């Protein structure tokens, strides 16, 4: 996670939310099992969730993994990450200034849809 107060300090490869908190673009959720307060799930956007006893049991018997817990707990997270990625790419292209406003937005959305289609 990376926090900035000025846009000029943003790192390449990071996606930033409206509060200036940045996280790597393609981060997968993961679990830190030996946290002092108990097993801790790190969401793709850097937020935290302590696993409940039920989630630990489902993980232990193989019914859940970090991605499925994230999807169940925060179903709109993937959409938010995708929107942040599109916004970052759009801002990057607009800074170059080679294209019109609508043309750039359509191009970025088309790239994202094609990327999503290829990943399935």
User: Quick check: 38 pLDDT over 80?
Assistant: yes
Q: How far apart are CA 94 and CA 96, in angstroms?
A: 5
HSE-up of residue 28 (Cα within 13 Å, Cβ side): 7
User: Quick check: 67 pLDDT over 70?
Assistant: yes
3 DSSP β-pair partners: 21
User: Quick check: 57 pLDDT over 90?
Assistant: yes
Give the whole-number percent of the chain exceeding pLDDT 70: 84
Axis-axis angle for helices 77-96, 101-119 (nearest 10): 140
Residue 3's pLDDT is what? 64
Burial tier of 86 (Cβ tally within 10 Å: 0-12, 13-18, 19+): middle
């Amino acid at each position: 996670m990376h926090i900035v107060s000025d846009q000029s300090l943003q790192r390449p490869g990071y996606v930033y939310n409206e509060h200036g908190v940045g996280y790597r673009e393609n981060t997968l959720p993961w679990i830190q099992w030996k946290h002092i307060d108990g097993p801790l799930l790190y969401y793709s956007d850097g937020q935290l969730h302590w696993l409940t006893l039920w989630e630990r049991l489902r993980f232990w018997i193989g019914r859940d993994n970090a991605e499925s817990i994230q999807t169940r707990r925060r179903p709109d997270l993937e959409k938010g990450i995708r929107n942040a990625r599109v916004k970052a790419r759009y801002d990057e292209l607009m800074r170059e200034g080679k294209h019109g406003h609508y043309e750039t937005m359509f191009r970025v959305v088309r790239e994202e849809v094609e990327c999503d289609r290829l990943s399935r």
